[in-house]
């Protein structure tokens, strides 16, 4: 069992986004007309009034002047939300040079991708260069399925073996022939929490609304959902303080929780965790983790 604690990439650490941000930057000295669109800190805003001068988008008291429109398409995969996504035809490529060492990379809510290519370089030296198939062969049960059945795509990808060299250039290329969508790209440090035990509980909280009209017909308003996940972990008792500190650090901090080494998409959850640790004997420690994922 592991988690990846996302690092927030600064503009100086982003070499190139998947798509250039072409929307006009907000300028404090400019008067904006009604319905004018601007970009501020990678977010888009629409002017709600004419004569809009001196009201910084997103600042306190700006809600009467600006309506948030979400992140730019190029930045959506870095905004920390599963409910937004970067969408491009032909693939998505991000290049970054984080100042801190990165050992983990996670792709969440990926759609339309056939493969992912990841490289890590330091100057002219290639430290990491691997490609990963995003087609899920786990549901192929026989030859008929292989030739005629539907091949599903994996929506998540977890890598926990990046070199972790500060300042190294990380290039992520999500490949696909058609429209490719990526909800989140997470770079961060991998933290080990012991071995996940069998019989985890996997679920979802549905935020959709179900109503009945005057004639009794069911009406459903889709509003997304969030994964839930509960698991017991085992570790040596000597790791008690280290694991307790690692879990305390991420209280009220969203991270990517990973069981089974990322083999199953259902066991990869981005969200908040609560925990309890129980020393079982002189050698073993058990921990109970309850994870509540973010809306997607």
pTM of the predicted model, to two decimals? 0.93
Beta carbons of 109 and 184 less than 8 angstroms apart: yes
Distances (CA, A) of 29 to 54, 67, 263: 7, 19, 52
What is the predicted pLDDT for the residue at 89?
A: 98
Grade residue 35 by pLDDT with cuts at 50, 70 and 90: very high
Q: Is 29 helix (H, G, I), strand (E, B) or coil?
A: coil
Beta carbons of 88 and 18 less than 8 angstroms apart: yes
What is the predicted pLDDT for the residue at 138?
A: 65
Taking only Cα atoms into account, the Rg of the chain, rounded to an integer number of angstroms, comes to: 22
Share of the chain above pLDDT 70, in %: 98
Share of the chain above pLDDT 90, in %: 93
pLDDT at 24 over 80: yes
pLDDT at 142 over 80: no
Chain segment 66-108, per-residue pLDDT in tens: 999 999 999 999 999 999 999 999 999 999 999 999 999 999 9
d(CA 226, CA 289) in angstroms, rounded, equals: 17
What is the C-alpha end-to-end distance of the chain, expressed in Å? 23
Pairing of strands 14-16, 284-293: unpaired
Grade residue 139 by pLDDT with cuts at 50, 70 and 90: low
Average pLDDT, whole number, for the chain? Answer: 96
Domain boundaries, the chain: 7-17+77-190, 37-71, 195-293
In this structure, what token pair is assigned to residue 75?
Answer: 């930045």
Query: Domain 7-17+77-190 adopts which CATH fold?
Result: Jelly Rolls (2.60.120)
What is the predicted pLDDT for the residue at 243?
A: 98
Pairing of strands 201-206, 152-153: unpaired
Picking from 238, 242, 259, the residue whose alpha carbon sits closest to that of residue 4 is 259
Better-scored residue on pLDDT, 146 or 212: 212
Chain segment 240-293, per-residue pLDDT in tens: 999 999 999 999 999 999 999 999 999 999 999 999 999 999 999 999 999 999
């Amino acid at each position: 069992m592991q988690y990846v604690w996302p690092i927030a990439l600064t503009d100086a650490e982003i070499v190139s986004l998947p798509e250039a941000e072409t929307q006009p930057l907000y300028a404090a000295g400019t008067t904006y007309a009604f319905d004018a669109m601007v970009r501020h800190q990678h977010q888009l805003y629409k002017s709600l009034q004419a004569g809009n001068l001196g009201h910084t988008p997103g600042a306190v008291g700006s809600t009467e002047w600006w309506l948030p429109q979400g992140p730019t398409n190029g930045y959506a995969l870095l905004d920390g939300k599963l409910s937004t996504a970067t969408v491009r035809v032909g693939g998505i490529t991000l290049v970054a040079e984080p100042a801190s060492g990165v050992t983990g990379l996670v792709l969440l809510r990926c759609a339309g991708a056939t493969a992912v290519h990841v490289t890590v370089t330091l100057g002219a030296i290639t430290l990491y260069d691997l490609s990963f198939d995003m087609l899920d062969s786990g549901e192929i049960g026989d030859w008929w399925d292989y030739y005629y059945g539907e091949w599903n795509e994996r929506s998540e990808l977890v890598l926990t073996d990046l070199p972790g060299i500060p300042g190294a250039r990380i290039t992520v290329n999500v490949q696909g022939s058609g429209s490719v969508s990526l909800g989140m790209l997470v770079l961060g440090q991998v933290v080990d929490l012991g071995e996940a035990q069998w019989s985890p509980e996997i679920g979802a909280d549905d935020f959709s609304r179900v109503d009945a009209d005057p004639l009794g017909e069911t009406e459903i308003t889709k509003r997304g959902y969030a994964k839930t996940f509960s698991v017991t972990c085992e570790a040596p008792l000597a790791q008690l303080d280290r694991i307790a500190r690692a879990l305390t650090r991420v209280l009220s901090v969203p991270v990517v929780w990973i069981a089974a080494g990322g083999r199953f998409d259902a066991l990869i959850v981005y969200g908040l965790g609560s925990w309890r640790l129980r020393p079982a004997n002189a050698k073993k420690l058990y921990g109970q983790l309850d994870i509540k994922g973010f809306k997607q």
